[in-house]
Amino acid sequence: MTDAPIPDAERKMQFLFQLRSKGVTDTRVLKAMEAIDRGDFVKGIFADRAYEDMPLPIASGQTISQPSIVGRMTQALEITPKSKVLEVGTGSGYQAAILAKLARRIYTIDRHRALVMESRKLFERMGLHNITAIAGDGSFGLPEQAPFDRIVLTAAAEDPPGPLLAQLAIGGIMVLPVGQSDAVQTLLKVRRLDSGYDYEELMPVRFVPLLEGLV
Ligand code: SAH
């Protein structure tokens, strides 16, 4: 006898329950994560694991982050409907799509051209017209669109990149993993104040490294 497939509604409920139990409690964030189907961003043999709380392989040797980490990072960003957001590390486009439900405007950059092209198609198909996906090295940010109210990195740098600190608006928030690529990293929340920057360590995380150049 084979197991009956789990109905979609039940899978969705389990998905949201897992998020809550891992500290994603902000109602707006949960609503955005309910609206964006992670199954649309995971292809091939891993597709049936899309609703599990784990990172999964995507194209170009990269990964889609663990949903609870996406939720915690989104929550830490304290996004408002007026926010202009920069994401470094488009990957599958999942994080950007969630941000698009919460903020006014999203710019997302990835160094892999193929991932940017794929995610553009997905955003179009999902009707997410407030996202601009750009191929480039995100360590330099996007000076022509700066300043940003919020900046999020989904690849780990040893330290917050200077150009990104400079492109953060006063009063703005940046969330990023910092640390060596092969060790446990720390999720850092940076707030730009009138007089400088305030740093808060949130939790241990593990992300792919922020690398140089376009591929
Ligand atoms: N946010 C993604 C997960 C991204 S994985 C999602 O929701 O699926 C990290 C991504 O960062 C990879 O796609 C990698 O190509 C990208 N990356 C690494 N270094 C980069 C850089 N300097 N500029 C832009 N993207 C970079």
The string of DSSP codes covering 80-134 is -TT-EEEEE--TTSHHHHHHHHHSSEEEEEES-HHHHHHHHHHHHHTT-TTEEEE
65 carries an active-site annotation: yes
Give me the catalytic one of 21, 65, 68, 92: 65
Q: How many residues does the chain have?
A: 215
Does any ligand 1 atom lie closer than 6 A to the CB of residue 208?
yes
Residue located nearest, by CA, to atom 24 of ligand 1: 110
Q: What is the DSSP string of 24-88?
A: ---HHHHHHHHHS-GGGT--GGGGGGTTSSS-EE-GGG-EEPPHHHHHHHHHHTT--TT-EEEEE
The predicted structure's pLDDT at residue 1: 54
Please give the pLDDT value at position 181: 72
Query: Which run of H or of E encompasses 185?
Result: strand 185-193
Distance CA 149, CA 72 (A): 18
- Tell me which residue has its CA closest to atom 13 in ligand 1: 91
Asked if residue 92 has its Cβ within 6 Å of ligand 1, the reply is yes
Do 15 and 98 meet the contact criterion of CB atoms below 8 Å apart? no
Q: Is 108 in the pocket of ligand 1 (CB under 6 A)?
A: no
The edge-to-edge listing of strands for the beta sheet with 185-193 is: 131-135, 105-110, 84-88, 148-153, 168-178, 185-193, 196-205
88 Cβ closer than 6 Å to some ligand 1 atom: yes
**Are the beta carbons of 162 and 136 closer than 8 angstroms?**
no
User: pLDDT tens digit string along 48-65?
Assistant: 899 999 999 999 989 999
Backbone φ, ψ for residue 126 (5° rounding) = -90, 0
pTM over 0.85: yes
Q: How far is the CA of 123 from the centre of ligand 1 (A)?
A: 17
pLDDT number for residue 2: 57
How many whole angstroms from 1 Cα to the centroid of ligand 1? 42
Sign, Cα dihedral of 72, 75, 77, 83:
positive
- pLDDT < 50 stretches in the chain: none
Decide: helix, strand or coil at residue 160.
coil
**Which of the listed residues 122, 210, 215 should we mutate to test ligand 1's pocket, taking the one with most ligand atoms within 8 A of CB?**
210
Mean pLDDT of the chain: 94
| Cross-strand pairs, 101 | none
CA 20, distance to chain mean position in Å, is 18
Map out the domains of the chain with their CATH numbers.
8-205 (3.40.50.150)
Per-residue pLDDT of 119-135, as tens digits, reads 999 999 999 999 999 99
